[in-house]
Amino acid sequence: MDKKTRKPTSGEQKSTASTNDFRITTRTKEPPTRRAFLTGATSLLGTAAAHVLLAPFLGHAADVPDDPTRVPGVPATEYGRRSPFERSKRLAKPQRSRTPLQDLHGIITPSALHFERHHNGVPMIDPARHRLLVHGLVERPLLFTIDELKRFPATSRIVFVECSGNSGKEWKGPKGKTAQEIHGLTSTSEWTGVRLSTVLAEAGLTPGATWMLAEGSDAAAMTRSLPLDRVLDEALLCYAQNGDPLRPEQGYPLRLLVPGFEGNTCIKWLRRLKLVSAPVMTREETSKYTDLMPDGTARQFTFDMEAKSVITVPSGGQRLKKPGYVEIRGLAWSGRGRVEKVEVSVDGGNSWRTAGLQAPVLPKCHTRFYLDWWWDGRDAILQSRCIDETGYRQPTHQELVSIRGTNSYYHYNAIQSWKIDEEGQVSNVQV
Ligand SMILES: Nc1nc2c(c(=O)[nH]1)N[C@H]1C(S)=C(S)[C@@H](COP(=O)(O)O)O[C@H]1N2
Ligand SMILES: [Mo]
């Protein structure tokens, strides 16, 4: 029915709005007390509309008009928020929070859902007082304000960050329940900043400068040594994420981003870059981020995040309601470059089909894959494996453990298996 010509039927409340002053007459069924409160709190908003807007603050469900075409909506706002009907959230513990991968669409993680990992909390930093010091083996030690860094030519890149501890509990068996719980320490953003190489050219490297120590200004003062020959081409000093300034959790006002490297090298709240001739051997690269092998030796400076993938729909904790069509969906990524191919098995790895890849397929970036499937209502085991542009294929759990043992916590990238039972219930298994 044409909205313009439609007349309110009897029993339907008529609303009148003046475009001049936003005064709105709405439904009269509201209890007087609540109505008075809301009118006082939001004199410019219609009552029904105000309910929807304020619902999250007031802690009650959004009150929805019977017919949204009969009640003018709320006015424009200065900084947006999502629909109160959407409840997807990070799984937060004090020192980390995990991205709800199973709820996401496309490849960008909304900034508010980007995973967090910090060793001593999120610091509060005034950007006007923040400085970046570049010193050590340079011709000119330099001190930059954020505004000065923003004057350099800007570069944006869509890349993932992944904590090397992501999925770490799975070394010792199928521990986690959901995609978020097991794999949620990875997210993708569009990061914007100045190239590290631009800033270092300004300072002028002296011949012995082969490594760089990066330090954060949080209470953990996280520090890592990075080999210049591996990071100079790609590393960014970022001040923005998905078009906005960085979130405090992601390192506001400045973070180092090393595409493809383990998350802990992407020093947040960055305050210092010291050019040196050898790794400094901080605690993060001696006791912490090393990989203990079965023979008792430890691998050090294992920076690269190897190819990995996870089916997010259907995934652990979800339930297929009835047999029939399912679009299998998931994310794949590699710290070595582009995702070349993703293969999906619905029979526990006996046979594999090539999944479709959704554009864009970017290097060192989450890539979305999908595959049509008809679930016949019987037991099934779903798996995905990522093959990257170097030809590397994501290993099975057994293949990974046969080389690395189970002493390690970091860099677990084995194939994820989801079992679907006859009830349609999805759970985490290792096969
Ligand atoms: N200064 C500082 N930088 C840091 C950390 C920290 O605790 N302090 N944590 C690191 C770790 S372990 C990871 S995985 C990433 C997480 O980045 P995110 O919180 O933006 O997802 O930041 C890294 N950078
Ligand atoms: Mo991490």
Sign of the C-alpha dihedral computed for residues 63, 69, 71 and 76 taken in this order:
positive
Minimal-distance CA residue to ligand 1 atom 10: 264
**Pair 125, 206 in one domain:** yes
Residue 112 lies in a domain: yes
- Given a cut of 80, is residue 419 above it in pLDDT? yes
Residue 213 lies in a domain: yes
Q: Which domain holds residue 116?
A: 91-299
Residue 393 lies in a domain: yes
- Given a cut of 60, is residue 121 above it in pLDDT? yes
Residue 346 lies in a domain: yes
Single-letter code of the amino acid located at 162 = E
Q: Which residues line ligand 1 (CB under 6 A)?
A: 114-119, 161, 163, 216, 218, 220, 222, 249-250, 263-264, 266-269
| Rounded distance from Cα 66 to ligand 1 centre (Å) | 46
- The predicted model gives 211-221 an average pLDDT of 98
- Given a cut of 90, is residue 280 above it in pLDDT? yes
- The predicted model gives 127-148 an average pLDDT of 98
**Pair 274, 318 in one domain:** no
In ligand 1, the atom with minimum distance to the C-alpha of 218 is: 1
| Rounded distance from Cα 116 to ligand 1 centre (Å) | 7
**Pair 215, 318 in one domain:** no
- Given a cut of 50, is residue 32 above it in pLDDT? no
Q: What is the CATH number of the domain that holds 325?
A: 2.60.40.650
In ligand 1, the atom with minimum distance to the C-alpha of 162 is: 14
Minimal-distance CA residue to ligand 1 atom 20: 250
Mutate to test the pocket of ligand 1, among 117, 265, 267, 411 (most ligand atoms within 8 A of CB): 117
Which position has the higher pLDDT, 422 or 60? 422
Q: Which of 75, 113, 70, 120 lies closest to 94, judged by CA?
A: 120
Residue 385 lies in a domain: yes
Minimal-distance CA residue to ligand 1 atom 12: 264
Confidence of residue 304 (pLDDT cuts 50, 70, 90): very high
What's the confidence (pLDDT) of residue 63?
78
**Pair 395, 283 in one domain:** no
Which of the listed residues 248, 276, 299 is the one where a domain comes to its end?
A: 299
| Rounded distance from Cα 398 to ligand 2 centre (Å) | 24
| Rounded distance from Cα 263 to ligand 2 centre (Å) | 5
| Angle ∠(242,248,254) on CA atoms, nearest 5 | 75
In percent, the amount of the chain with pLDDT more than 90 equals 85
Which of the listed residues 272, 299, 326 is the one where a domain comes to its end?
A: 299
| Rounded distance from Cα 333 to ligand 1 centre (Å) | 19
Asked whether the bond before 100 is cis by omega within 30 degrees of 0, the reply is: no
**Pair 133, 166 in one domain:** yes
The CA distance from 106 to 360, in Å, is: 10
Which of the listed residues 275, 299, 323 is the one where a domain comes to its end?
A: 299
Minimal-distance CA residue to ligand 1 atom 24: 267
Q: How far apart are the first and last CA of the chain?
A: 56
- Given a cut of 70, is residue 38 above it in pLDDT? no
The CA distance from 240 to 193, in Å, is: 7
Strand 223-227 and strand 211-216: pairing? antiparallel
Confidence of residue 53 (pLDDT cuts 50, 70, 90): low
Q: Give the list of residues 6+ apart from residue 368 with CB closer than 8 angstroms, or none.
A: 106, 107, 329, 330, 331, 357, 358
Minimal-distance CA residue to ligand 1 atom 18: 116
Single-letter code of the amino acid located at 36 = A
DSSP states of 130-162 as a string?
-EEEEEESBSS-EEEEHHHHHHSPPEEEEEEEE
**Pair 295, 312 in one domain:** no
**Pair 317, 381 in one domain:** yes
**Pair 202, 112 in one domain:** yes
**Proximal ligand: closest to the CA of 122:** 1
Q: How many domains does the chain have?
A: 3
pLDDT tens-digit profile of 328-341?
Answer: 999 999 999 999 99
Confidence of residue 68 (pLDDT cuts 50, 70, 90): very high
Residue 77 lies in a domain: no
Which position has the higher pLDDT, 251 or 16? 251
- Given a cut of 70, is residue 253 above it in pLDDT? yes
The number of C-alpha atoms within 13 Å of 173 and in the hemisphere containing its C-beta is 1
Residue 85 lies in a domain: no
**Proximal ligand: closest to the CA of 284:** 1
**Pair 267, 348 in one domain:** no
**Partners of 308 in the β-ladder:** 333
Minimal-distance CA residue to ligand 1 atom 19: 116
In percent, the amount of the chain with pLDDT more than 70 equals 86
Strand 417-420 and strand 380-388: pairing? antiparallel
Confidence of residue 287 (pLDDT cuts 50, 70, 90): confident
Residue 4 lies in a domain: no
| Rounded distance from Cα 265 to ligand 2 centre (Å) | 8
What's the confidence (pLDDT) of residue 106?
98
What's the confidence (pLDDT) of residue 62?
62
Check if the beta carbon of residue 298 is closer than 8 Å to that of residue 290: yes
In ligand 1, the atom with minimum distance to the C-alpha of 120 is: 7
- Given a cut of 80, is residue 271 above it in pLDDT? yes
Backbone angles phi, psi at 51, to 5 degrees: -60, -45
Mutate to test the pocket of ligand 1, among 191, 264, 271, 273 (most ligand atoms within 8 A of CB): 264
In ligand 1, the atom with minimum distance to the C-alpha of 187 is: 21
Mutate to test the pocket of ligand 1, among 163, 287, 410 (most ligand atoms within 8 A of CB): 163
- Given a cut of 60, is residue 377 above it in pLDDT? yes
Taking each helix axis from N to C terminus, what angle separates 32-41 and 47-58, rounded to the nearest 10 degrees?
Answer: 90
Which position has the higher pLDDT, 9 or 229? 229
The structure tokens 């994820």 sit at 416
- The predicted model gives 18-32 an average pLDDT of 36
In ligand 1, the atom with minimum distance to the C-alpha of 269 is: 1
In ligand 1, the atom with minimum distance to the C-alpha of 164 is: 14
Which position has the higher pLDDT, 390 or 56? 390
What's the confidence (pLDDT) of residue 7?
41
What is the helix (H) or strand (E) element at residue 127, kind and residue range? none
DSSP states of 364-419 as a string?
TS-EEEEEEEEE-SS-EEEEEEEEETTS-BPPPHHHHHHHH-SS--S---PPPEEE
Predicted TM-score of the model (pTM): 0.88
- Given a cut of 60, is residue 56 above it in pLDDT? no
**Pair 213, 268 in one domain:** yes
**Pair 151, 271 in one domain:** yes
**Pair 113, 240 in one domain:** yes
The mean pLDDT of the chain is 89
